[in-house]
Structure 1
């Protein structure tokens, strides 16, 4: 199935650059301590390669979440494995659905480190439901939505939020695929502990295998 670009199509696919934000990247230092330092690191990486959008992070083990208490409840272990793909781009960049879909649910999850405004769409692949989650949107992205609302492939569904409204991160899109939402609405875990990694690996497949981007 053809996939449209997730972000403003004026950013050509050749302007995308893979980025490593894992705990094994010694060059990171303390760059992830706040949105400003994270953005400065990303800007340096992009400038070096003359690119515009940084992306990556599926199943990446990150230290990014250490400062947010709700990521690490005692009963589930330390949550540090990232279950989606991140696309780092300026705030207010338009976000598009890669495939035809309909609105399943949405919410504004305002706790520090959470998704901020988040939208979930439902799609059909091989006659089975597949859900796509778009986290860290702008608050305005949620206005006027209705359950079941249909979007054509490539349609704009929102905009990237600033750090003040997106949970406290440098502007980016958290894009995650989910086979079974397990009853969640306007939410689904985007980070897991090692103990749950195999379950989530199966339930949240690698988005790149569906997007078919030539990267």
Structure 2
């Protein structure tokens, strides 16, 4: 299938995907969460505090008898206003999230959804950034795409090698906590990328409204792959 129809191509792979959080967590354990600027309940929370944001997320998970909160693709968020890493000028402010967040406990194991090789990895240490990050390369015939895993533990990138093969279902990483993951509640930022544009161990996970059309095409909705 041509990658010109990227959404259809990604969705076609979902039947063969291994759950990124493992098989011990089923889809009924997931609950959607709204972290957008239009969520009035969230607007009452001091999101500059990772502890306060964590309490909000944890309460949502508990109240819905879930284990994981998920969401955020193309979500416009106020969370990023706390960090100079995201430009605050009106025309270029980056506040539109272009990955999928899976909010769950620190040290949760992350698994490879598909056969892959390690493309690159890096500890992105800006305040509000990914922290330890891994990018995997996937190839199906002539089609190549990448998946990014952000907000990991430092241990996750300690013994990695570029070009290392990762079998579908193999453990890839564990989640970090606020001390290493950019100062967020523990969560996985999962993103699909068609063209890495020369990036190594990093790729924008948040964009401005002026660039959203490009990123919507270059970064298809991860829910299509994960079946959420």
Q: Which among 51, 59, 67 is matched to residue 66 of structure 2? A: 51
Whole-angstrom distance in 2 between the partners of 1:34 and 1:89 = 17
Number of aligned residue pairs: 213
- Taking structure 1 as the reference length, the TM-score comes to 0.95
Return the alpha-carbon distance in structure 1 between the equivalents of residues 47 and 88 of structure 2.
21
Q: Which residue of 2 aligns with 1:110?
A: 125
Say which is worse superposed, 148-157 or 2-11, in terms of deviation: 2-11
Q: Per-residue deviation at 1:74?
A: 4.4
Aligned-partner Cα distance in 2 for 1:184–1:74: 24
Question: 1:168 maps to what in 2?
Answer: 183
Correspondent of 2:30 among 16, 19, 33: 16
- C-alpha RMSD of the superposition: 1.4
1:71-98 residue CA offsets vs partner (Å, 9 max, x unmatched): 1164961100001000001000001111
Q: Is the 8 A contact 1:31 1:41 kept in 2?
A: no
1:113-163 CA distances to partner (integer Å, 9 max, x unpaired)?
A: 011000000002452111000000000000111111111111110000010
Q: Alignment partner of 1:71: what SS?
A: coil
Deviation at 1:48, TM superposition (A): 1.3
Q: Name the counterpart of 1:4.
A: 18
C-alpha displacement at 1:47, in angstroms? 1.4
Name the CA distance, whole Å, in 1 between partners of 2:220 and 2:140: 13
Answering whether residue 159 of structure 2 is matched by residue 144 of structure 1, we say: yes
Distance, in Å, in 1 between the alignment partners of 2:206 and 2:45 is 20
Q: Which runs of 4+ in 1 moved over 6 A?
A: none
Give 3-state SS (helix, strand or coil) of 2:75's partner. coil
Structure-2 separation of matches of 1:194 and 1:158: 32
Q: Partner of 2:122: helix, strand, or coil?
A: strand
**Paired residue secondary structure (2:156):** helix
Structure 2's unaligned 5+ residue stretches are 1-12
* SS class of match (1:66): helix
Change (3 A) 1:50 1:109: same
Match of 2:40 among 17, 23, 26: 26
Q: Which runs of 5+ in 1 are unaligned?
A: none
